[in-house]
Amino acid sequence: MKKRLFHRSYNIENTSGEADGWKTIINGNTISGHLTLLKKSVDWWCDMKTFLPPESFARAGSSQNQQAASNFEDYKGFKLMNDSGKPNEWYVILRGQLLKGSPVAIKRHLDKVIEKLNNK
């Protein structure tokens, strides 16, 4: 069974029925792969007028997921984050205030705040 989609004036079709069997033509280039990656290629072409194959989005997505996982830590219900990757540029928002520093210093401060709240 043939499935067809219309995304930003481009026909995307799947003739095989498999998850990665989608195909379309962008600027004379026939591309195939997963639907979400094809849509990203079409979006990129429509917005930037530059052709990028779906594989480039697959590689970029996997490296971002790995980086995001290593720069996030859950500590007693608080989310400690590090966007830059530098060791002392972690931050957390506590009661509407931004706390920045090393993860050890932030955890020490959070422990003091939690202890104060429990003693009240």
Tell whether 99 and 55 lie within a shared domain.
no
| β partners of residue 4 | 13
Please give the average per-residue pLDDT across 9-18, as a whole number.
86
Mean pLDDT of 2-30: 87
Looking at the structure, tell me whether residues 53 and 7 fall in a common domain.
yes
Q: Note whether 86 and 115 are same-domain residues.
A: yes
In residues, how long is the chain? 120
Task: Please give the pLDDT value at position 109.
Answer: 92
79 lies in the same domain as 112 = yes
What is the pLDDT averaged over residues 11-36? 87
pLDDT above 60 for 80: yes
Percent of the chain, pLDDT > 90? Answer: 17
The CB density around residue 30, as the number of other CB atoms within 10 Å, is 8
77 and 37: one domain?
A: no
Residue 111 has pLDDT above 90, yes or no: yes
Q: Which of 79, 76, 114, 116 is nearest to 99 (CA)?
A: 79
In a shared domain, residues 16 and 34? yes
Same domain membership, residue 12 and residue 29: yes
Query: What is the domain extent for residue 24?
Result: 3-65
Q: What is the pLDDT of residue 112?
A: 92
Question: Are 59 and 80 in a shared domain?
Answer: no
The reply to whether 58 and 78 lie within a common domain is: no
Count of domains observed in the chain: 2
Average confidence (pLDDT) over 33-46: 88
The amino acid at 39: K
In the predicted structure, residue 67 carries a pLDDT above the cut 80: no
99: CB partners within 8 A, 6+ apart: 91, 92, 93, 106, 109
> Is the confidence at residue 70, as pLDDT, over 80?
no
Kindly tell me if the per-residue pLDDT of 57 is higher than 70. yes
What six digits make up the tokens of 10?
A: 């481009």
Same domain, 51 and 95: no
CA 5, CA 107: separation in Å to the nearest integer?
Answer: 50
